[in-house]
Amino acid sequence: MPLSNTTTRYGSVTKGFHWLTALLVLTLIPVAVIANRLPYDTSEQLAQKAWLFSLHKTLGVTVFFVALLRIVWAVGQPKPALLNADRKLESFVAEAAHWLLYGSLVLAPLSGWIHHAATSGFAPIWWPFGQSLPLVPKSESVAGVFGGLHWVFTKVMVVTILAHIAGALKHHLVDRDSTLRRMLPGQATLPPLSAADHSKGPLAGALAVWALALGLGWALGVYAPHGETVAAAELAEVASDWEVQEGEIAITVTQLGSEVTGSFDSWTSAIAFDPTIDTGKMGSVETQIAIGSLTLGSVTAQALGPDFFNAQAFETATYSGDIFKAPDDYEVRGTLTIKDTSVPLTLPFQLTLDGETADMQGRLTLDRRDFGIGDNMTDESSLAYAVDVRIALQATRAP
């Protein structure tokens, strides 16, 4: 069997690309459907769900590169003439479907890959080249857009594949021609064929279908940051001797061996502090955090759910304590309350004073089990017990 195409037949390389792509796609689609439907209430369920998603993502990246190689090969090859070129509408639909398939086999995995790179956590791609992509930031808005694009492109791909299969079966069982046999190993018997006439009309038709699908995706709101969200509690303004100008309360968890970092967007701190005091209590702080304002990569919805922070039932967390001079820097000795559990907690921090401005940096590690967070996750290989907390803020002394 010749490697290259002719004007009437497909070569073995084209056939190999065709059936390899079919095998990959017809594997990764059901894997994704099953993975999406699986629960993740326990460590074992989470590990199983993540394994299937990793398989899906790895196969998807493989499809992307196979599709690129297939397109590069096809560009330099003659395209065999259609067996039904005399049926203008049928020929138009067949060629438009081929354009849709070629495009979807690149766009669907690429958009999924960018979505994966823009978010953090959950199921990694199985390869040694890292999980990020150049020029793709870690961003929930970027992840939302490309997650929506992935959804749209996969739907176009699935519908086109079904139409492609139906067309092949129609040729084989109804028309009884060699359209399907021409893509199988061996040399199919072919009737005399007219010269191929591949116009730009089918490409225009494919572009119109993509435009329509993208518009429907926009109308359905699939490009917004996805996942279940919880409305963050409205925090009242607080009176403070030191007014926070900017700052961040960030947490890092380790899920399935990968670090996932997020932060709370809404919080207040009432700070009383006298830097001239040398010994004993130097002031106090009370910080209130709106739990629903947490963003934590791809696991945000899970973190806010009833098995973890339970943000609908417990809208805020509170840390209050007194400020003391420590041997190296400073520390707050206080109590952290999350959900209905209060735990004594000492927060060491560094402080830089420049006139009326103070820069504070603090870091500590919590055990999520102390607060009844993720009690159903008993295996640290699924979700580590330790949670790293990093606090950074800049405050100025109030007039």
Q: Which domains does the chain have, with CATH numbers?
A: 12-220 (no CATH), 242-397 (2.40.128.110)
CA-CA distance, 257 to 383, in Å (whole number)?
8
CA-CA distance, 57 to 31, in Å (whole number)?
10
Exposed, middle or buried by CB within 10 Å (0-12, 13-18, 19+), for 225? middle
Contact 222, 144 (CB under 8 A): no
Q: Which residues pair with 95 in a beta bridge?
A: none
Q: Which residues pair with 334 in a beta bridge?
A: 321, 345
Instruction: Kindly state the helix (H) or strand (E) to which residue 113 belongs, with its residue range.
Output: helix 88-118
Q: Can you read off the two tokens belonging to residue 281? A: 């209590």
Q: Can you read off the two tokens belonging to residue 190? A: 């072919």
Exposed, middle or buried by CB within 10 Å (0-12, 13-18, 19+), for 324? middle
Q: Can you read off the two tokens belonging to residue 107? A: 């766009």
Q: Please tell me the predicted confidence (pLDDT) of residue 226.
A: 59
Q: Please tell me the predicted confidence (pLDDT) of residue 10.
A: 87
Q: Using DSSP, state whether 28 is helix, strand or coil.
A: helix
Q: Please tell me the predicted confidence (pLDDT) of residue 184.
A: 85
Block residue for tokens 């010269």:
195
- Tens digit of each residue's pLDDT, the chain (399 residues): 688 888 788 889 999 999 999 999 999 999 999 999 998 888 888 889 999 999 999 999 999 999 999 999 998 888 887 777 667 788 888 889 989 999 999 999 999 999 999 987 778 999 999 889 999 998 888 999 999 999 999 999 999 999 999 988 988 889 888 878 888 887 766 766 655 556 788 899 999 999 999 999 999 999 987 555 677 889 998 999 999 999 999 999 998 888 899 999 999 999 999 988 888 899 999 999 999 999 888 888 889 999 999 999 999 999 999 999 988 899 999 999 999 999 999 999 999 999 899 999 999 999 999 999 999 899 898 899 999 999 999 999 988
Measure Cα distances from 374 to 253, 301, 341, 377 in Å.
12, 13, 14, 5
For residue 383, what is the DSSP state?
B
Q: Please tell me the predicted confidence (pLDDT) of residue 254.
A: 92
